[in-house]
Amino acid sequence: MTTKHRHENPILVTGAAGAVGGVGRNLTEFLLAKGHKVRALVRREDKRAEALRRLGAEVVQGDLTDLASMHRAIEGCQRIYFGMSVSAAYLEATINTAAVARHHGIEAFVNMSQMTVSQMSISETTDSPQHKLHWLAEQALSWSGLPVVTVRPTVFLEGFFLTLATPGVRAADELALPMGDGKTSPISAVDVARAVAVILNDPAPHIGQIYDLTGPESADLDHYARAFSEALGRPIRYRDVPLAAWSEGLRRMRFPEHVVNHLSAMTELNRLGRYDRMTDTMQKLTGEAPTSMRDFVKLHAAEFKERGPA
């Protein structure tokens, strides 16, 4: 699609200022670089909102669960990226956004889901409350009549392998996670954002599709510890920590109970091999290979620098 064929309507990006994963923030940047107008929905006015304005986005403050907010955000847009951090209000936010999007007659609704949903059904769920909300949200969107594109990434590198792993790597040269010997294929949120930007740039061929996105390999945590060692230039080992103690640590870090339950369930699923998945969808969509663990750790090396006991 060339610039002269692009719509003048802005593309709505929800969760544009979110810190977890960072899909919305990166997607905003990619779409602006492609010459699109972007309306970035943020929960509050802060430095992150101002940074989005400096990029060139139109920033709108609002709440995904609030009807009036979503009318203000969606009116005048034809394409929407819907993504939201792990939250007990996720299903309400999805349906509220979808109802308003249908009212305004949008032409594409890109929904950020999770790959675990592909292994769920009307009779099969997981112990994660968030997974059930994602499954229900996908059901509702399929009933809505909206022109939906569903994106299902596996585990984000920015989650387990940056936010949650950094303290152990800094203090003890340990990748300390309760993930057993299961294999996983984590993907960077930046790569996911790049794939979504391709879809939103020209959505028509993608309507009705479901895209499972993984990283470039599926491996166990010992393998990824070796990738950390190569990237950081010092030995990093994997330590399979007890789940109960790890979950309690999340609570001490003031993670909401809904999030603790979700992350804990994900580690159990990893032990069972549920994240041992591989696709070449990222390459097919973007023409680029997804970021490897080694390259990801090198990119964030300063954050893993040794700083003494945590």
Contact 209, 114 (CB under 8 A): no
- For residue 45, what pLDDT is reported? 86
Hunting for tokens 């996670």 — which residue is that? 177
Q: Could you read off the pLDDT tens digit of each residue along the chain, which spans 310 residues?
A: 333 435 689 999 999 987 645 899 999 999 999 999 999 999 888 888 999 999 999 999 999 999 999 999 999 999 999 999 999 999 999 999 999 999 999 999 999 999 999 999 999 999 999 999 999 999 999 999 999 999 999 999 999 999 999 999 999 999 999 999 999 999 999 999 999 999 999 999 999 999 999 999 999 999 999 999 999 999 999 999 999 999 999 999 999 999 999 999 999 999 999 999 999 999 999 999 999 999 999 999 999 987 655 4
Residue type (1 letter), 310: A
- For residue 5, what pLDDT is reported? 36
CA 99, 102, 104, 107 torsion: positive or negative?
A: positive
Rounded CA-CA distance 6/208 in Å is: 21
Q: What share of the chain is helix, strand, coil (3-state, %, to 5)?
A: 50, 15, 35
Q: Which residues of 100-134 are buried (b: 16+ CB within 10 A; e: fewer)?
A: bbeeeebbbbbbbbbbbbeebeeeebbebbbbbbb
Residue positions counted in the chain = 310
